[in-house]
Amino acid sequence: MTGVEADETPITSPLPHVSSSSRRSGVLVTFPDPVPYSVAWALQQQCHAERLPGRRADTLLLLEHLPVYTTGRATRPSHLRPEIASFDDPPVPIEAVNRGGSVTYHGPGQLVAYPIVMLSQYAPGARAYVHMLEEVVIRTLVRFGLHGYRVAKTPGIWLSDRKGEAKIASIGARIDRGITLHGLALNVTNDLRPFSNIVPCGLDGCRMTSLEVSVGAPVSLPAVLEHIANEFSAVFRLEWIVRISDGLKTTAADRQPVAASEYR
């Protein structure tokens, strides 16, 4: 997952300064269990439809997915390598999505952030927005003593270790009528083997790593989630006025969020 699709011309810009007087309110939604991709996508679309006319505040969905490969608009057939998949592994579904970038893998132990926000309130364009998402990841990694960095023309965050360079977070976004969709994925405790069945983000030779591998010790996924939520709030100057832990029905007949409960 890397790249951005937008209904506007991307603008190269540094991280914008937002004064405290323009700090906005938002809704943070988390989920107790990994969410099927189709369910999360339906929820993104619902939030987008409500954000457009202003019936919803800017919203951040923070979740894990059940195993899935997602292919963006830059995906080529050569980026998928199913012939090397182990027959001992259960098949992983492939979902075509309308974000920028190529193919990536999502699965339990990886944190995915889907901001549904009005872009003009935070950044002058798509590239500046991606820069802000990268900043959220960089600040989160600092909390674990890691130095994450950007690589030109490849949205996402990288680390250097004794094996060389490895990617720890991917970014793929879409801006539809000024409202953002899709977002970032940070590898925390997830199994990295499924990445070997693809060319991650369409980058030949790309090695993926995780927070747990890089730290060399167990990492608390809930703690990382809280750090991402806090750093997103700091970078975007956005206060979480509502935090929701959301249960989901996942049957084909009913894929709407249920049993939402507010917490502080």
Q: Which CATH class is domain 2-8+22-82+92-263?
A: alpha beta
Looking at the chain, the whole-number percentage of residues with pLDDT higher than 70 is 81
For 186-216, b/e burial (b = at least 16 CB within 10 A) is bbbbbebebbebbbbbbbeebbbbbbbbbee
- Report the SS3 class of residue 38: helix
Return d(Cα 119, Cα 42) in angstroms, integer. Answer: 20
Identify which of 8, 28, 15 has the alpha carbon closest to the alpha carbon of residue 123.
15
Residue 164 exposure: Cα atoms within 13 Å on the Cβ side: 4
Contact 64, 112 (CB under 8 A): yes
DSSP state of 95: E
pTM as predicted? 0.84
Return the domain boundaries, the chain: 2-8+22-82+92-263
Tokens 């730290």 belong to which residue? 215
DSSP state of 17: P
Q: Report pLDDT digits (tens) over 152-201.
A: 988 899 999 888 999 999 999 999 999 999 999 999 999 999 998 887 77
Residue 180 is predicted with a pLDDT of 97
Q: Report pLDDT digits (tens) over 216-225.
A: 999 999 999 9
pLDDT of the chain, 264 residues: tens digit per residue = 556 655 433 322 333 344 444 689 999 999 999 999 999 999 999 999 999 999 999 999 999 999 999 887 777 787 787 554 554 567 888 888 888 778 889 999 999 999 999 999 999 999 999 999 999 999 999 999 999 999 998 889 999 988 899 999 999 999 999 999 999 999 999 999 999 888 777 767 779 999 999 999 999 999 999 999 999 999 999 999 888 887 654 333 333 332 232 222
Catalytic positions, please? 201
Return d(Cα 31, Cα 147) in angstroms, integer. Answer: 28
Beta strand 94-96 with 154-161 is unpaired
Which helix or strand (DSSP H or E) is residue 175 part of? strand 164-176
Return d(Cα 221, Cα 192) in angstroms, integer. Answer: 16
Return d(Cα 200, Cα 79) in angstroms, integer. Answer: 7
- The DSSP code sequence of 199-220 is -GGG-TTPPB--HHHHHTS---
Residue 120 is predicted with a pLDDT of 96
